[in-house]
Amino acid sequence: MKKIAVLTSGGDAPGMNAAVRAVVRKAIFEGIEVAGVFNGYQGLIDGKIELLQLGSVGDIIQRGGTMLRSARCPEFTTEEGRERAMEQIRRHAIEGVVVIGGDGSFRGALELSRLGIPVACVPATIDNDINGTDFTIGFDTALNTVIDAIDKIRDTATSHERTFIIEVMGRNAGDLALWAGLAGGAETILIPEERYDMPNILERLQRGTERGKKHSIIIVAEGVMSASELAEKLITEEEVDTRVSVLGHIQRGGSPSARDRVLASQFGARAVESLLKGNIAAAIGMKSHQLVEYPLDDVFAKPADDANEFDKDMYNLSKELSI
Ligand code: ADP
Ligand code: F6P
pLDDT in tens, 257-274: 999 999 999 999 999 999
User: Which residue ranges have their beta carbon within 6 Å of ligand 2?
Assistant: 11, 102, 125-127, 169-171, 222, 252
| pLDDT above 80 (res 309) | no
What was the pLDDT predicted at 103?
95
Can you tell me the distance from the alpha carbon of 292 to that of 25, in angstroms, rounded to the nearest whole number?
A: 20
Does 127 qualify as catalytic in the annotation?
yes
Helix (H, G, I), strand (E, B) or coil at 161: coil
Confidence of residue 239 (pLDDT cuts 50, 70, 90): confident
Torsion of CA 167, 263, 68, 248, to 10 degrees: 10
- Which is more confident, 44 or 323? 44
The residues with which 291 forms a beta bridge, in sequence order, are 286
**Mean pLDDT across the chain:** 95
What CATH number does domain 3-138+256-302 carry, 3.40.50.450, 3.40.50.2030, 3.40.50.670, 3.30.70.20? 3.40.50.450
Q: Is domain 141-253 in CATH 3.40.50.460, yes or no?
A: yes
Can you tell me the distance from the alpha carbon of 64 to that of 189, in angstroms, rounded to the nearest whole number?
A: 28
- Which is more confident, 180 or 205? 180
For the residues 168-173, what does the mean pLDDT come to?
97
For the residues 157-178, what does the mean pLDDT come to?
96
What was the pLDDT predicted at 257?
98
Torsion of CA 216, 219, 220, 221, to 10 degrees: 180
65 lines ligand 1 (CB under 6 A): no
Torsion of CA 50, 55, 61, 66, to 10 degrees: -20
| Residue nearest ligand 2's atom 3 by CA | 11
What was the pLDDT predicted at 149?
98
Domain ranges of the chain: 3-138+256-302, 141-253
Can you tell me the distance from the alpha carbon of 173 to that of 169, in angstroms, rounded to the nearest whole number?
A: 9
What was the pLDDT predicted at 86?
98
- From the CA of 82, the nearest ligand is 1
